[in-house]
Amino acid sequence: MRVLLAAAVLFLAAPGQAATERVGSLDGIAIIDRLDAADIAPGTTERFWFRAGSSALAQPWLVPVIVVKGAKPGPRLLITAGIHGDELNGIDVIHRLASIEPATLAGTLVMVPGLNTPGLLQSTREWTPDFSRASPNLNRVMPGKEGGRGIDDYSGRLWFRLLRPNADQAIDLHTQSRGTAYPMYAFASTPRTRAMAELVAPDIIKLDPGEKGTVENELTNDGVPAITLELGRPEMFDTQMVGRGVAGIVNLMREMAMLSGPVVPKSAITFTGNKQEVVRAPRSGWAVLAVALNTDVAKGDEIAVLSDAFGRVTDRIAAPVAGRISTIATDPRRDRGDMLVRIITNSDDPKCAMGC
């Protein structure tokens, strides 16, 4: 009996090891080394600085975290933004969702308005801890490795101490990178993530097998359905796009029974495709696009005119396929091979059923 009791105590103690670890505070905000949203009192909103590692100056990289803990039980929705440091709209989306009244919420919103602290400081897509290192993509190295070097430790701490233990479903918010633009655009890789994408009512859904090391795919493959939601252009808070992001996430939360209210299962505006064509500049020069985002093109339509440094036309570029314009270059300076536009299409090849 004593042995059994000891085993029971050990079992009960195990969850305690994963409890929120408070290690200090900064201007009244607790600094934590680990989050367990179960520790937060129901009906409250708490803010934290998560310590995601330290810089070469032995100062912590701090990542902001907001937990809105509903008065009623329910699922945990993880919402992240700013893993690419020039992609900002999602940060404003989270700031707005943070005002959800916990009394009206069932479940928990765990939100990270800025995953890539060094990249945000430099307004760059990459993780840029200091001048001397390569600048890797933080959204290709998940789940990382705690105790590893640089980005491996940073991503590993995020993954194992903050993101993965606090998510039942997840949305990772992005925009296009500097010099390019998306409409409101979601990636999905499974039936549930497709349904999630439809609920947030983007202009375009790309069914996509995904890429290794992304927050979306590593969570989905680990049993936490997750989508990447792209909200337009980088380096700005676009009020209209942010508003659509908030409205879409509220609709998803209603479907998850986290908030009350009517659910719109799928918007008529959403175009879903399973294949993508990238149209690239055949030589370096100045590009003038002949098409707008989120419009349809027929095969052979002129989509861009390329000129040399003197404004002399060098190339007229035609759409290689019919489809919907899903990405455009907004910076007219194009090196040979740079993307001009992407076109989303639909293939009836069975292997493309969930994206190819």
Q: Which is nearer to Zn ion, 84 or 244 (CB)?
A: 84
CB of 231 to Zn ion, least distance (A): 10
Segment contacting Zn ion (CB under 5 A): 78-86, 191-199, 237-245, 294-302? 78-86
Q: Which is nearer to Zn ion, 76 or 84 (CB)?
A: 84
Q: Which is nearer to Zn ion, 75 or 179 (CB)?
A: 179
Both tokens of 295, joined, read: 């419009």
Q: Which is nearer to Zn ion, 74 or 213 (CB)?
A: 213
CA distances to 62, 287, 317, 338 from 314, rounded to whole Å, are: 49, 10, 10, 16
CB of 130 to Zn ion, least distance (A): 22
> Cis link prior to 102 (omega < 30° from 0)?
no
CB of 258 to Zn ion, least distance (A): 25
Q: Which of 51, 69, 84, 157 binds Zn ion (CB under 5 A)?
A: 84
Torsion of CA 57, 118, 79, 172, to 10 degrees: -140
Segment contacting Zn ion (CB under 5 A): 93-101, 171-179, 213-221, 343-351? 171-179
Concatenated DSSP letters of 294-332: T-EE-TT-EEEEEE-TTS-EEEEEE-SS-EEEEEEE-S-
Cβ(276)–Cβ(345) under 8 Å? yes
Binding of residue 206 to Zn ion (CB under 5 A): no
Tally of residues, the chain: 356
- 3-state DSSP assignment of residue 20: coil
CB of 181 to Zn ion, least distance (A): 13
Q: Which is nearer to Zn ion, 90 or 225 (CB)?
A: 90
Residue with structure tokens 């800025």?
114
CB of 215 to Zn ion, least distance (A): 10
Q: Which is nearer to Zn ion, 138 or 259 (CB)?
A: 138
Which candidate, 30, 80, 50, 293, places its Cα nearest to that of 154? Answer: 50
CB of 155 to Zn ion, least distance (A): 15
CB of 174 to Zn ion, least distance (A): 3
Q: Which of 174, 206, 244, 275 binds Zn ion (CB under 5 A)?
A: 174
Which candidate, 338, 329, 323, places its Cα nearest to that of 290? Answer: 329
Q: Are strands 60-69 and 106-113 parallel, antiparallel or unpaired?
A: antiparallel
Q: Is 230 exposed, middle or buried (0-12, 13-18, 19+ CB in 10 A)?
A: buried
Residue 241 sits at the vertex; the CA angle it makes with 238 and 245, to the nearest 5 degrees, is 130
Q: Which is nearer to Zn ion, 69 or 174 (CB)?
A: 174
CB of 238 to Zn ion, least distance (A): 15
Residues 12-51 that bind Zn ion (CB under 5 A): none
Segment contacting Zn ion (CB under 5 A): 20-28, 76-84, 242-250, 329-337? 76-84
Q: Which is nearer to Zn ion, 47 or 140 (CB)?
A: 140
Residue 78 sits at the vertex; the CA angle it makes with 259 and 56, to the nearest 5 degrees, is 150
Residues 85-104 that bind Zn ion (CB under 5 A): 87
CB of 193 to Zn ion, least distance (A): 17
Q: Which is nearer to Zn ion, 256 or 344 (CB)?
A: 344
Number of shown-chain residues binding Zn ion (CB under 5 A): 3
Cβ(258)–Cβ(108) under 8 Å? no
- CB nearest Zn ion: which residue? 174
Residues that bind Zn ion (CB under 5 A): 84, 87, 174
